[in-house]
Each structure stands twice: as C-alpha cells, then as structure tokens.
Structure 1
Amino acid sequence: METLRRLAGLPAGRIGKWAVIAAWLVMLVPLGALAGGIGRVQDNDETNWMPASAQSTRAVELARWEFPAGSDSTLVLVYAREGGLSAADRETVLDDRDRLRALAGGNVTGPAPSADGEALTLTVPVPGRAMETGEAGEIVARAREIMRAGLPAGLAAAATGPAAFRADATAANGRIDGTLTLVTVGVVALLLFVTYRSPVLPLVPLACVAAGVVAAQAGAVLAGRAGAEVSGSGSILMIVLVFGLGTDYALLLISRYREELAEHADRHRAMALALRRTVPSVAASAATMALAALALLAADMNSTKGLGPLAAVAVMAALLAMTTLLPALLTALGRGVFWPAIPRRRAPGARSTRIWQRIGALVSRRPRRAWALAGLALAALTCGTVFLRAGVLDGGDNFTRKPESAAGQEIIRAHFPGGTTAPALVYAPVRAAASVAALARTAPGIASTGSAETSASGRWVRITAVLADTPASEPARRSVAGLRARLARAAPGALVGGQTAALLDRDAAMDRDLAVIAPLVIGVVTLVLGVLLRAVVAPLLLLGCALLSSGAAAGLSTLLFHALGFPRTDQTALTLGFLFLVALGVDYTIFLMARAREEVARHGHREGTVTALVATGGVITGAGVVLAATFLVLTITPVVLNIQLGLLVALGVLVDAFVVRTILVPALALDIGPATWWPARPVPAPRPRSQPSGIGSPPW
C-alpha cells in the first residue's frame, strides 16, 4: 500500500507532472491509431456469439462443411394487398424479381403465393460471407430500393427475414454510437458545471475521460486481435463505463484536492496528500469492478464472455487516466483552474457538510429503526421481481421503433405460416432420412416440410421445416424443443438448427451463465472487501446490503419496464445488471468503510462511523448522480436491451448512493458496534498531518 501511495504521488511532483503529461501525449498517438480500428475487430454475427456446444451452432458448422452452396441467409420480400392482388401488383413483383436476380446472381425464388391470394413473397439468398463482413446491409438496402421503385398505390411491401433483421439491428447500433458519445459528454459536462460552478474545471476531467476512452478502445482492439469477442454493444458499454467511472474517480480526487488547497499553500503538496488519501480506495474500487467483470469469462455465451475483458479494460483505463493524467493536469494548471471559486489557504467551511451532519445525527440517534425502515423499503421494492419475465429479446421485440423487418414479419404472419421467413433446418445422416422426414412432418407446430436435400459428401440430408408460429415466439421455441426431443429418441445424431433453434439455445445458455456468474461475482466482491477492510463481518454486511439493493433495483426496474411496454426483460441485461449493481454498489461502501476504519481507530466506533458518513456524504452522493446519469444515456438508443440495462443500473446506483450508503450501512454498523470489524480491530493509519479531513464534499 505504501508503494502504491508513493507511485500515486508522481503526478504531483514539480517535474513528475510534466513527465506524466508528456508520457500521455506520446502514448495517445499509437493508442489513437489502434482505437481507430475498433470497427474492424467487431463481430456482430450472432452465430459466433453462441456456445460451440449448442446444437444450433453445431448445425451451422455442419452446414458450412456439408452444404457450402446452401448455407446462405435469406432476405424475404413480401407484397400484400387486402382483398386480393391485382394483375398490376403481380406484374410489379415479376419486374422486381428480374431486377433482384441481377443483385443475387440469378438465384431469386418465387413469387410464392399465399393461400388467401392476398400476398406474394420473393426470396433472395444472401451469402454467408456477406453476413460475416457486413456487406449484407448493402444488399438489403439495394433490395429495398428495388422493391419501393414503382410500387403501385395500396400495395404493402416490406423486406424481412434473417438478413433484413440483422441489417436493421446493425444499422440501429451503428447510428447510436456517435450520438451516444456526444450525449454522454453533454450530460457529464453539465453535471460537472453544476457541481463546480466553473467554466474551466469540468473541461479537465472531460479531457482525461476522452483519453481514457481512446486507451480503452485501443485495449479492446488488442483484445479482439487476441481472440476476444468484440461486439458493437460491447463497444458502447465501454464508452459508458469509462465516462461513468472516470467521472466518479475525478469527483473524489478533485474534492479532496480542493480541501487540501484550503490548508496548504503549495499545490504540489496539496495534490500529493490528496492522492495519498484517495488512490488506495479508488484502486480498490476499480479492482473490485475489474475482477467482477472478469467473472464473465466463465460464461458459455461468447458475446457475454467477450464483455468481461472489455469491461475490465474500460475500468483500468478510467483508473489510469484519473490517477495520473488528471492530477498532473490539475497541478500544472494551478489554483486558477477552479475560477471563479478559487480555493485559498484557510480552514474549510462547514457549509458543505451541514446537511450530512444532520443525516449523521438522525442515523446515529436510532440506528436500529433507521436500518429496519431502510431494509423494509428495499425489501418491498424487491417484491416487484414477481412480475419479472426473463428471456432473450429478438426480432422486433428488441427495438423501440418497429423496423421494416418486423413490419414485414407481421405481414407474413397474416398471410403465411409464421415461420416462413426462417424455417427450422433439420440435419440427419442419410441412413435416417426417411424416418427423420416423417417425424418432422408430423411434429406439433410444423406447418410444412420440404424434400430432403443430400449434402455434397452424400453423408447428410437437410430438411426444411416451416414453423406455424413466428421464429421468435414462445410457441415456435416449444415446437423446436419438441422436434429435438423426438429426434433424440428416434435418430441420435440429428441436429435442428435455424433462427428459432438458436434462440432456444441462447435462452438455455443465458440461464446457465447467470447461475454461474452470480456466485462468482459475489465471491470476488467478498474477497476484495475482506482484503481491503481486513475483517470478516464488515464484508459480509456490505455484501448483504449490495444484494438487497440489487433486488430492490431489479424489482423497481421490472415495474418500470412493464409501464414502458417492455414486459420481457432481456437475460443479458439481467446478467450484466447484476454484475454492475453489486460491483458498482460496493464501490461507494468501499469509500465509506475505508474511511470509517480510519476514523474508528481515532475516535472510537460510534463517533468514527458518523464522522465517515458526514465526511464522504456529499461527494459520494454526487458521484452516484453522475454515474446514474451516465447509464441513463443508454435510454436514448432504440435498442430495448440497452434501455433496460441503463435503467436497471441507474436505479441501482441511486438506491445505493441515497439509501444503502447513506442509511442502511452506517446504521447497521452503529447497531452491530465494534464487532463490525471482527476479527481485527482498526488501527491508526499514518497521517501526513494532525487534522485530516478525509474524502470531502463537492462545493454545492
């Protein structure tokens, strides 16, 4: 710890600050070049996100080897007119087919009529290579242009199918990337301006956050080249984490630096003292978050597994930027950076902590009543989880604004079997072809089956089974599960793949991942807290509070999701939400309890706990507001998964900052008494002066 404090003092040195700034300027050149390639290492092909052991994944791999010419995705163009298609409508569809053949190399099938005579479909193959490289979006866009050109009045038309859904999802994520960054910068800048009432000071942490984002993206590129899964959603999450955590760390450091400036004429000494007292707690907080994120490596889903290293890189980039570049810049700029409220050498005023003195007095007067009421309130909110409906969101359900692919699927469902655009694909050894075809044809939920197609090697057959229900629906998933159960008994070795099968496998993998990752996160957090506080009771106390807080946030979020029209909660949001709620929630109690451990050694348990609550109240609450606002930026995206994750984490952070850290934890510590620190007893830490003031409060 002493070594850490000495290293932390480097940016405060008269020469050291310039060395740190120069090092960052030199590093940002290669880091920026690396970060510019983040789009090239992203893999948004959902087939690569699945576990290798999943039946749908094995079906994809088999198709690539045995049916290379027929393993393409499909784009389905549907045309419909209520009351029946006219001759002009049919002529338009035929013209579109001829033009689409030039786009698809002549392999367009159809028009296929519906039984009611009101709709026709054209099916355009999209090469698997195009799906992997992103060229599929251009093919879909061109097909839509062809479809809309010369469309007769009253004829409804839409492009749907797996290729269209993929293109719409990619476009939605691509459009929000730059917007999200700009909005995040604006929100954080506004909050910093309000906090410090300075036109200059907020620009310094923002510049450091920007440097942290570049470093994080460069790290993501290196991780991608090393084999880690880097997705568009992961890249967005990295930006949010660097902004949120980086701003939190900046608030803690700047607040402490401002206090030290009020007591020391030499800004270098003031910054050195600020770093010595804040960096250990900030580093412990970052270590908790990073290690908890690495627990995602235990996931089966490659997309979830890939988020672990990305989140850890984001946390470390934020920590590095805010403990090196930020203090170096602040020291170099001097006291004038705080203009117009420039701190002078004087005793710190009590105005900023008066409200926290009152809160501390209320909590300490009747601690048992305080923690009981807070605990009951959180438990009541947790009851909202009874309405939780977890599952993988797919297709139109994952968008706030219905994309054309989802609208096209609704037209399909009105005139054709729901699974027309994405049939189940049954693969079986040739010797079992007849029995497998018969089983598929008579299986519940199967509308029709195609003839068996023999592979190039002659060892396998593929049978197309059109589902009666839409691919992402629960009935369709039950149909695929039933078909798999039939084949497992009658034809071992047969595989069922396709879009619905992949969704079924994702459900199972996400359920398993949440069951495995949650205990790992709990174990990591408990271990870090035990090492930091050198106690047994306190870490268990903090962990219990974090879990109760997470349950309350989940219950409140579930009710909010229902009110917003999102009754199903994506399992990815639940897994990542649990990780962030526990790890980020513990962050604030780390700052509180680390300070409490020092104050208890000086003043005794009761007075020390209250002193820690008062000293850390303002800055931790402010940091919670900033972090919550940063995650709320995710709600501007049109992707339901992002919205749910943003709301869940933001609500959890606010609950932690205003209820858990302010009332529940200190009240429990006061009620339990000195046994909180069992088996050790807090000992005085070395003090650079006789009257430290701890982590201070921002000047609002």
Structure 2
Amino acid sequence: MKNKWLRVLLPVVVVLIWLVGAAVGGPTFGRLEEVSSNDQASFLSASAESTEAGELQQQFSDSDAIPAVIVAESDTAIDPRDLGPYEELAVTLGEVEGLEPPAEGAPAVAGPIPSEDGFAVQYVAFVSSDAELAEVVGELRTVLDEDLPDGVTGYVTGPAGFTNDLVEAFGGIDGILLAVALGAVFLILLVVYRSIVLPFLVLLTSVFALATSILLIFGLAKLDIIQLSGQSQGILSILVIGAATDYALLLVARFREALAEHETKWEAMRVAYRGSFEPILASGATVILGLLCLLFSDLNSNRSLGPIAAIGIAFSLGAALTLLPAFLLLFGRAAFWPLLPRYNPAATAVVSPHHGRHAAATGAGPETGLERLTGLWRRVALLVGRRPRVLWIASVLILGAGALGLTQLQANGVPQSALILTPSNAVDGQEALGRHFDAGSGSPVYVVAPEADQEAALDAVSAQEGISDAALTADRSGEAVVQDGRVLISGTLEYQADSEQAEDVVRELRTALDGVGGGDALVGGVTAVAIDTNDTALADLVKIIPIVLGVILVVLIVLLRSVLAPVLLVASVALSYATALGVSAVVFNTVLGFEGADASVPLFGFVFLVALGVDYNIFLMTRVREESLRIGTRPGILRGLGVTGGVITSAGVVLAATFAALGVIPILFLAQIAFIVAFGVLLDTILVRSLLIPALAYDIGPKIWWPSKLGTVPSPR
C-alpha cells in the first residue's frame, strides 16, 4: 500500500517542483534585456589591442556617452551661406532629453557641417549612458521628420544609431521566436505521434526546462558572471526546446515499445528508463562538454555563450529524465490517445539471445533480426544489409562533393550595413554619409600614443594612405591633452569604417606605428574592433575544433567500450559539418546574396552541429551495441537501425525546425546559423545516420567494436 502511494505521489511531487521553478523563472524571460549587451567591443577580450585602446581613450573624456551622427540629405544643393534653418535644427535637436555635451560649455549637438558637394549637412551628438538609447534616438528621428524642409531626408546613424537599430531587431522577438519554434515542434509531434495529448506533454517539458534555466542565467548575468547578448538569448531558446524534445522522443519511443511488452505503466517505465537513461545522459553530457569548450575562446561573446547554452542543455536533460517520466506515469497509456498502445504478451519474445550465434553459424542473410519490423525502416535496414559498401562509398562521395563548397566560404566579417536584414535608418544614414562626406567620418580611427612620440605618431597617421586628416585631442588653448603620459589622435577614414578597404588601412597603420618610438602606440575605433574580432574568431576556430572533437571522442570511447567505432563516428560528424558549411556557403553567396559571414559563424556552426549531431550517433550506436550483445553485430546493426530510424529522423526534423525558427530574427549572423544547423542536422539524420554509419559498420562487421571482446564474436555476412 505504501509503495502504491509512493508511486502516485512521486510523479506529482516532481511535476510540482518543476511547476514552481517555471512559474518563478517564466516572468524573468521578459527581463533578460536588463542584463544583456549587444556592444561588439564588449565581446573582445581585455588583451585585444582595440580593447586596450578603447579603455585608454575613455581617459580623454569625462563621459562614456555614445556618439550619434545625424545626416540631413537634400535633393537640391544647400547654400553654405544660408545655413540658418540647419542651425535652428541643431538647437532643436540639442533640446532632446538624454543628450550630453562633449565638454563643459559645448553645445549638445555639434554642427551643421556642410558637405563639399553641397547636398548634405552633418551633426554630431552624444547620448548619455544613463539615458534610454531607444527613446533618445527615436526622438532625434522624430525631430528630423517634423522639422526638416521638404526634399530633405534625415538619418541618425553612427554607434548610437546602429546600436539602437540592432537592439530593435532583437526587441520583442523572443516571444515570436518561441511561438514559431513551439508551433513548428507541435505540428511535427502531431504527425509523429498522431496523438493530441503527447505533444503537449513533450512541449511542457521543453518550456518548463527553458523557464527554469532562465532563472539561473538571469542571476548569473546580473552578477556579471556571464555576459548575455541578444543572439545568445535566441540560441538558448532554440537549444533548450530542440534538445529537450529530442531527449523526450527517445524516452517516449522506448516507453511505447515497453507498453506493448509490459502490462503496467510502472514496469514499462522501468524498462524504458533503463534503456534510454544511458544514451540520453551521454548525449546531454556530450553536448554540455562540447559547449563548454567555448570557454577556451578569447572572444567574450563565445566564452559566455558556452556556459549559457550548457546550462540550458543541463535543464533540458534534467526535465527529460525527471519531468517527462512523471508526466508519462501520471497519464500512462492515455498519453498516446487516441492510438493507445496495447499490451501484447507475444511482444516479449522479440529475438532469442542465442539468435545471433545461430545466425553466425548458419550464415543467415540481412533479414536476421528484422523479423518483427515493418515499413520504411525495415526496407532501409534491408538495403543497408544487401549493399553496405556501395552505400557508404556513395554517401562519402556525396558528402565530399558538398564539402567542396568550402572554397566559396567568405567568413571574414561583414559590414555593419549587412548585419540587419530589415530596413534600417542607421544603415541608410551611413550610405548617405558615404555619398557626401568621407565615408569613415562617423567612425574615426583612434590612436593612443606615448606623449614623447606624439609628433611622430601624428605624422604616421597623417601620412597613412586612406586617412584624410588627423588631429591631436587638444584643450581650448590648443595644447594636446595628456593623460597618464599618453595623447589621443583621431583620424578620418576615406572609406566606410566597416569596409575591407578600411580594415586594410588600419592594418597598415598598425604596422607603421610599430616603427614609431618603442612601438607602444595602440590603434582603436570601430574598424580596429572589427579586425581584432575577426582575427580572434579565426584563431578560436583553429584552437577549439580539435578540443571539441577530442572531448566527443573520449565520451564515445567510454560509452561504446570501443576505439574504432568512436573514431569513425567522429570522422563522420566532421565530414557532415564540412558538407553543411560548404553547401551553406554556396547558398549564401549565390542564392541569398549575402555579402559574407561573421567570422564566428563557422565555429558556432561546428559546435552546434557536431555536439548536437553526436546525439544521433549515441542514440543509434547504443541501441546497436545493445542488440549486438543479444543477436550479433551485423544483425544488431540492422535491428538497431530499424528500431531507432523513426525516432532519430523525428528528432532531427524537430531540431532542424527549431533552429530554422532563428530565421525570424532579422540578424544576418542568426539567419546563417539557422540555415547551417538546420540543413546540417537534416543531412546528418537522413544520410549520415541512416545510411553511411550503418552501412560502414555493417561492412566492417564485429571489428567495429575493436578492441572490446564484442569485436571477436562472429557475425553473419
């Protein structure tokens, strides 16, 4: 009696615990913006040259206000002798609350500065760090719309304008992203389960995991232990929903299988849990370890995403192994309504443990172990058993052909104007600025040099091709401002600050300044930050990929008690990643017309695809090993493929759909990650896990388990 009450109360208690966590964490979801940052400079490590230059540059200003560049572009020429209306506009703009004068006694808005061609004027304002950026930029744009004469268009660009538009692109999107992802998953689960109840239980598991994980992440971000950004928020939601659903699919499949073999839901859950606990735990642990490898990154944005995503996966794992079993125990067979799985005593006699030995002795064919399987996956398994070598060689050739697209990959950063995929006032303003002024006038190069080298450093900046003018930061008397023995030099670029030409200029300037004095001059500014970010991202890619592959290899060796199988599995996911990235590069360049990709895209694509793709390796090969112990390696491979094919394909489609949902965020980086991972997961699920791995393993035979004893057991050919 006591045991019966425990069986009833335990699931209820587990559900209540998760309900409380979700109830507390859910409202925190809307407050994540309070602790997030989208400043690219903050993504860099403290040791980056542009970071050091930026910190020293702050000493030359009494505030950390954000500059806004205001451009008024006219259809007709503006008389430089009649700037009265534009001077009045400067006064009106200066009355906007939240602006901060650059120096004591200076106007809040500097300008108007007419262009040489006479078709535009420029202003510079500074938005206080204490002000609400969106409100200030919005008010400035309203003033321009209302006060500019007909035929004149106004823009707010520069750091303040771009930051505002970037935040707006993320703003309010979390709810839409979550709704799209959950809606897509729900529809897929309806098709997979043909049940109304079960999809809700699986989605509740995912949502509870997400809401509870956010509570911890918010607290860590508030304590400045991790750095949260808009892109990491979006990725977190997708990862948690996708991973929790994947783990749920495996457990539910085992539970439904066990319900046919066991009369009570308790016994069925015991068997299902025992069969799925190890692969789910191993899958989750592998993903967590793979994501934590991002801690080795020198980019703060990458390093912070690692623990944020790992926390999300940990809660997905916890929910799949505790909350979902509790739901299934409370509902029992009713969870599958209207297609209730019936108890079938004959189902317990699946395949004799001695069947494999008998098959080996009699030389049975590929149908061995597939006696009770029907449908598509029986046919796939039979195909693998009859043409293994042809299948795996053809699969490798197809993947290799796709990987050739890597030669088209342009992952060396993109202009700011390409970051936002929706219309942006800041982007339009930057283009207007480039039409009428030096394109880099809104984002100058800054050089912090020792006082003793100020003349030589100023000469080097002035002489640099691609910089139109250079000046020392001076006080009202015209004397250079000196802070801690250093001076600040600013130079106006002739090219847009985020262009390849501007980056070439800054690289050449750094080389020139290395020969000035002791080579202690530091170059900062928007262009320098972009250069350092790209260089660091490329270095991270070379460093982190081997670490992730090594971690996954060790986990697979421990899990499968083999060396050869894990090596082949890791090689397969690496090849699958190369193919996904190669095909994506071709699509980005020729179909979607993207100007390139952020330097972090290949690394994020690798970590997500490899760490998540190994889930399907684990789901497949743990079942194959289980069946191989019972019926022999080759029959075990075919049976493992047959019984897991449906659940692995469903899991892949779910994960691809959730990552594809990232495309609703109009940010280039996330759109590219969405395509790479969604396509890569489908490729991995349909080709690699369904054909390549089973066919290769079948062709190798028992030696696939080398050096374990299982590799010495004969298997039918």
TM-fit CA distance, 1:581 = 1.2
- Unmatched runs of 5 consecutive residues or more in structure 2: 101-106, 351-370, 475-479, 713-717
1:496 partner SS: strand
**Deviation digits for residues 302-323 of structure 1, max 9, x if unmatched?**
0110000011111111111111
| Structure-2 residue corresponding to 1:692 | none
Is 1:119–1:415's contact at 8 Å kept on the other side of the alignment? yes
Q: Residues 31 and 400 of structure 1: is their aligned pair in 2 closer, same or farther, counting only changes over 3 Å? A: closer
1:125 partner SS: strand
Q: 276, 297, 300: which is aligned to 1:299?
A: 297
Pairing 1:280-319 to 2, within 5 Å after superposition: 280-319=278-317
**Deviation digits for residues 209-241 of structure 1, max 9, x if unmatched?**
110011221121233225111112111111000
| Structure-2 residue corresponding to 1:68 | 61
| Structure-2 residue corresponding to 1:681 | 709
1:12 and 1:274 mapped to 2: Cα distance?
A: 19
Amino acid at match of 2:526: Q
Q: Residues 239 and 364 of structure 1: is their aligned pair in 2 closer, same or farther, counting only changes over 3 Å? A: same
1:30 and 1:414 mapped to 2: Cα distance?
A: 52
Mean alpha-carbon deviation: is it higher for 208-217 or for 35-44?
Answer: 35-44
Q: 370, 375, 379: which is aligned to 1:358?
A: 379
Is 2:76–2:151's contact at 8 Å kept on the other side of the alignment? no
Amino acid at match of 2:545: A
1:82 and 1:280 mapped to 2: Cα distance?
A: 69
| Structure-2 residue corresponding to 1:175 | 172
| Structure-1 residue corresponding to 2:359 | none
Q: 389, 400, 410: which is aligned to 2:410?
A: 389
TM-fit CA distance, 1:637 = 1.6
TM-fit CA distance, 1:114 = 0.8
**Deviation digits for residues 155-177 of structure 1, max 9, x if unmatched?**
12211111111111111012322
Q: Residues 88 and 619 of structure 1: is their aligned pair in 2 closer, same or farther, counting only changes over 3 Å? A: farther
1:628 and 1:88 mapped to 2: Cα distance?
A: 61
| Structure-1 residue corresponding to 2:446 | 425
| Structure-1 residue corresponding to 2:671 | 643
> Does 2:121 correspond to 1:120?
yes
Mean alpha-carbon deviation: is it higher for 601-610 or for 347-356?
Answer: 347-356
| Structure-2 residue corresponding to 1:343 | 341
Is 1:450–1:464's contact at 8 Å kept on the other side of the alignment? yes
1:426 and 1:197 mapped to 2: Cα distance?
A: 65
| Structure-1 residue corresponding to 2:358 | none
| Structure-2 residue corresponding to 1:411 | 432
Amino acid at match of 1:572: S
**Deviation digits for residues 31-55 of structure 1, max 9, x if unmatched?**
4466564333223232221111111
**Deviation digits for residues 441-488 of structure 1, max 9, x if unmatched?**
110110112344334646222111000100110000010111111111
2:703 and 2:159 mapped to 1: Cα distance?
A: 60
Is 1:12–1:327's contact at 8 Å kept on the other side of the alignment? no
Is 2:450–2:521's contact at 8 Å kept on the other side of the alignment? yes
| Structure-1 residue corresponding to 2:144 | 147
Mean alpha-carbon deviation: is it higher for 21-30 or for 396-405?
Answer: 21-30
TM-fit CA distance, 1:86 = 5.8
| Structure-2 residue corresponding to 1:236 | 234
1:71 and 1:324 mapped to 2: Cα distance?
A: 48
2:435 partner SS: helix
**Deviation digits for residues 633-687 of structure 1, max 9, x if unmatched?**
1112210100100100011100111000111001111111211111102399xxx
| Structure-2 residue corresponding to 1:84 | 77
| Structure-2 residue corresponding to 1:571 | 599
> Does 2:42 correspond to 1:48?
yes
Pairing 1:254-653 to 2, within 5 Å after superposition: 254-346=252-344, 353-453=374-474, 454-455=480-481, 457=483, 459-491=485-517, 492-562=519-589, 563-653=591-681
TM-fit CA distance, 1:189 = 1.0
Is 2:373–2:642's contact at 8 Å kept on the other side of the alignment? no
2:625 and 2:694 mapped to 1: Cα distance?
A: 12
Q: Residues 14 and 70 of structure 1: is their aligned pair in 2 closer, same or farther, counting only changes over 3 Å? A: closer
Q: Residues 458 and 326 of structure 1: is their aligned pair in 2 closer, same or farther, counting only changes over 3 Å? A: closer
TM-fit CA distance, 1:91 = 4.0
TM-score (norm 2): 0.90
> Does 2:91 correspond to 1:98?
yes
Amino acid at match of 2:510: R
2:594 partner SS: coil
TM-fit CA distance, 1:123 = 0.6
Is 1:144–1:159's contact at 8 Å kept on the other side of the alignment? yes
1:469 partner SS: coil
Is 2:391–2:691's contact at 8 Å kept on the other side of the alignment? yes
TM-fit CA distance, 1:95 = 2.4
1:36 and 1:108 mapped to 2: Cα distance?
A: 34
Is 1:35–1:215's contact at 8 Å kept on the other side of the alignment? no
| Structure-2 residue corresponding to 1:697 | none
Amino acid at match of 2:117: D
Mean alpha-carbon deviation: is it higher for 137-146 or for 537-546?
Answer: 137-146
2:163 partner SS: helix
TM-fit CA distance, 1:90 = 3.9
Q: Residues 89 and 284 of structure 1: is their aligned pair in 2 closer, same or farther, counting only changes over 3 Å? A: farther
Q: Percent of aligned pairs with the same residue? A: 38
TM-fit CA distance, 1:333 = 1.8
Is 1:437–1:452's contact at 8 Å kept on the other side of the alignment? no
**Deviation digits for residues 249-297 of structure 1, max 9, x if unmatched?**
1111112111212222211111121111111101100111000000000
**Deviation digits for residues 387-409 of structure 1, max 9, x if unmatched?**
11112234111121231111111
Mean alpha-carbon deviation: is it higher for 221-230 or for 494-503?
Answer: 221-230
TM-score (norm 1): 0.92
| Structure-2 residue corresponding to 1:689 | none
1:11 and 1:548 mapped to 2: Cα distance?
A: 52
2:413 and 2:5 mapped to 1: Cα distance?
A: 47
| Structure-2 residue corresponding to 1:212 | 209
Mean alpha-carbon deviation: is it higher for 390-399 or for 501-510?
Answer: 390-399
Mean alpha-carbon deviation: is it higher for 340-349 or for 578-587?
Answer: 340-349
| Structure-1 residue corresponding to 2:367 | none
Is 2:241–2:658's contact at 8 Å kept on the other side of the alignment? yes
Mean alpha-carbon deviation: is it higher for 31-40 or for 215-224?
Answer: 31-40
Q: Residues 89 and 382 of structure 1: is their aligned pair in 2 closer, same or farther, counting only changes over 3 Å? A: farther
1:613 partner SS: helix
Q: Residues 371 and 458 of structure 1: is their aligned pair in 2 closer, same or farther, counting only changes over 3 Å? A: closer
Mean alpha-carbon deviation: is it higher for 404-413 or for 261-270?
Answer: 261-270
2:241 and 2:461 mapped to 1: Cα distance?
A: 52
Amino acid at match of 2:654: V
2:191 and 2:82 mapped to 1: Cα distance?
A: 60
| Structure-2 residue corresponding to 1:227 | 225
| Structure-2 residue corresponding to 1:23 | 17
1:637 and 1:459 mapped to 2: Cα distance?
A: 46
The size of the alignment, in residue pairs, is 671
> Does 2:244 correspond to 1:246?
yes
1:107 and 1:61 mapped to 2: Cα distance?
A: 24
1:657 and 1:620 mapped to 2: Cα distance?
A: 7
Is 2:440–2:497's contact at 8 Å kept on the other side of the alignment? yes
1:73 and 1:315 mapped to 2: Cα distance?
A: 36
| Structure-1 residue corresponding to 2:104 | none
TM-fit CA distance, 1:595 = 0.9
| Structure-2 residue corresponding to 1:195 | 192
